[in-house]
Structure 1
Amino acid sequence: MCYKERNKAMERLNSKLYVENCYIMKENERLRKKAELLNQENQQLLFQLKQRLSETKNPNGSNNDNDICSSSSASGKS
């Protein structure tokens, strides 16, 4: 195989890898956004669960918001 043929083959391979890399980056971004949405949903569900647990621990209706707030702020979320 001469130099020009080898060079063309390398250019084709490089182009193919470039397109594949672009696809992977788009898919990665899509998955990152989906993971963020799932994380937000999980945080909301956790908050609701903590509220329900707090209500069952305090059946007289007085919620202990300090417990919920302190555990939420410890995770970096509020």
Structure 2
Amino acid sequence: MERLNSKLYVENCYIMRENERLRKKAELLNQENQQLLFQLKQKLSKTKKNPNGSNNDKNLCSSSSASGQS
């Protein structure tokens, strides 16, 4: 019984460490998503102010794909 408790304790520690690692990763991804959303909103507001700009869609796609490579 003591051996089983020790094994479960070690497994629980591993799970808690992995959970913390995933929580930090999720937080970083959320921050990145918020930044990308902010950039997208800025570009969209510029597009609305300047509807005659022909390169707006091209710039929007290239900057979001470049930011996504982390």
TM-score by length of 1: 0.65
Instruction: Give the equivalent residue in structure 2 for 1:50.
Output: 48
Please list the CA deviations of residues 26-55 of structure 1 after superposition, one character each: whole Å capped at 9, or x if unmatched: 0010001000000000000001111111xx
Q: Which runs of 4+ in 1 moved over 6 A?
A: none
Distance 1:7 1:48 in 2: 61
Higher RCO, 1 or 2 (CA under 8 Å, sep at least 6)?
A: 2
Match 1:32 to one of 23, 30, 33: 30
Report % sequence identity: 21
Q: CA RMSD in A?
A: 0.7
CA distance in 2, matches of 1:18, 1:11: 11
| CA distance, structure 2, for counterparts of residue 36 and residue 14 of structure 1 | 33
**Structure 1 unaligned blocks of 5 or more:** 57-78
AA partner of residue 26 (structure 1): K
Structure 2 gap segments, 5+ residues each: 53-70
